[in-house]
Each structure stands twice: as C-alpha cells, then as structure tokens.
Amino acid sequence: MKPVALVPVYNHAATVGAVVRALHDLALPVLLIDDGSSAECAAVLDALAGLSATILLRLPVNGGKGGAVMAGLREAHAHGFSHVLQIDADGQHDAAALAAFLAAMVEAPQAVIVGFPRYDASVPKSRWLGRYATHLWVWINTLSRRIRDSMCGLRIYPLAATLPVLDAMPPWSRMEFDTEILVRLDWADVPIRNLPVAVHYPPDGVSHFQPWRDNVRISWMHARLFFGMLRRLPKLIGRHFPAEEPH
C-alpha cells in the first residue's frame, strides 16, 4: 500500500502551503496539480515542489477541478502509487480528520473513503441547502444512500478500482467530477465508506464555482447518470435482494 496526497490547485497561493505541510506531517508524499494558475500561485507551487516528497504536475491550461484530478490520478499511477488521498487546496477540510481516513484505507484497502462534511457557522446557507438537490439525485441514481455526500473534496481512491471507471468517464469534467465518479464507482460495486470531516469556509476563501455554467453542467451530469441508472436498473434493484446462500 503506497498512498499519495493529491492537491488540485488553481490560484490558492495563500492556503496551499499549509495544506502541504499538514500532509507532510502525516508522512504523506504530495502530488500538486497546477491547473493553469496565475504567476503568483505558480511561484508558490514551484517553491513547494522543492520540498522532499513533493511532485508538481503543471497543466498548460485551466481544465477545471475534474480535469486536474483526472490528470493527478493518472500521474499518481504512473509514479507507482496505489491510493490517492484527494484534498482541496483551500484549507477547508480539518487536517485532524486525515489520520482517520488513512486508518480506514488500511482497514478497507479496496474501498473508496469519502468525507461527509460537518459544517460550522461559516458555511453559506445557499451552498448548504443547494447540496441537497445533488444528494437526492445521487440517491436516485444509485437506488441507495451508500454515498452520504458526493461533493466533499476529501476522499481516498484505490487506484486499481478507480482507473477503469475513470477511463469510461467524459474527459471534460469540471465541478461535476466529484459526484459523477462516486456514482460510477458505486455502479462498479466498489465498496464505499463514509467518514465525517469538519469543514470551515474562511471569509476570504477562493471559490471557482460559476453558478450559471456549473449548475448547467451539474444538471446535465445528473440527467446523464439517470439514464445510466435506468440501464442498470435490474442490477441496482437486485442489490437489495441478495441471493440466498446454498444450504
């Protein structure tokens, strides 16, 4: 078992350093994905890349979070890593939760370990409420509630199970990636474990969510997954009625 931390970065110059330090404190190597950041952020990433156990992959143009994570998962595999701990560069996720995620990975190495947020008072109400539409569609498209939160950016992927699913996904994913890959991993019968993580939204935090563009993309993703669910309906229903063991 050889895990690496994957941090997609797009103009998080002020916060990415603290995230990298927290990961190094856990003796995790770090793979930084520069998703077309500004010169200021690129300089910060160049400095971090000089640290031991730190790899920097620089993408030529901004492709969105999904594109950055896809590139990072494949780069991690090319470097011989077995698992990827994905974490956002904005420092929202409580680093104290990371040890529990790594322990869960050791206990269940074939599973995807997925964070579900425990918000404090800093969360914008509109964002907190808006997530529930996605939660509902995920539960419909998997016919289950195995995935408690598909939008949390803290998770661990087992690469052996994830890469075949990744290869079947659209290559243009942006904000919708986190949700789509979890639904498709569930369809592929990859075990899913959910762990809590405290989430804080700093008042000066950087968000790249563009409501018109990203909501349209997310709506199309849910529609695409819905028709995918219909094709898999007998299998998904059959999960609720396991075959009896022979006597």
Q: State the DSSP H helix or E strand holding residue 165, giving kind and residue range, or none if neither.
A: helix 159-167
Give the sign of the dihedral formed by CA 148, CA 154, CA 160, CA 163.
positive
For residue 6, is pLDDT > 60? yes
Write the DSSP string, 88-142.
-TTS-B-GGGHHHHHHHHHH-TTSEEEEEEEE-TTS-HHHHHHHHHHHHHHHHHH
Given a cut of 70, whether residue 180 has pLDDT beyond it is: yes
126 pLDDT more than 70: no
pLDDT of 205 above 60: no
115 closest CA partner among 127, 105, 130: 105
Cβ-based neighbours of 59, under 8 Å, separated by 6 or more: 33, 34, 35, 36, 67, 68, 71
Reduced to 3 states, what is the DSSP secondary structure of residue 176?
coil
Among 161-165, 216-220, 224-228, the minimum mean pLDDT is found in 216-220
The pLDDT of 23-45, averaged and rounded, is 95
pLDDT at 125 over 70: no
Q: ∠ CA(119), CA(124), CA(128), 5° rounding?
A: 60
Check whether 204 has a pLDDT greater than 70.
no
Structure confidence by residue, pLDDT tens digits, 130-145: 677 888 999 999 999 9
Percent of the chain with pLDDT over 90: 66
103: CB partners within 8 A, 6+ apart: none
220-242: pLDDT as tens digits? 888 989 999 999 999 999 998 87
Percentage of residues in the chain with pLDDT exceeding 70? 88
Strand, coil or helix: what is 158?
strand
* 30-35 and 3-9 beta bridge pairing: parallel
Q: Across the chain, what does the average pLDDT equal?
A: 89
pLDDT of residue 170: 80
**CATH code for the structural domain at 3-238:** 3.90.550.10
What whole-number distance in Å separates Cα of residue 157 and Cα of residue 119? 23
Question: Which range is least confidently modeled, 30-34, 51-55, 88-92?
Answer: 88-92
Return the pLDDT at 212: 55
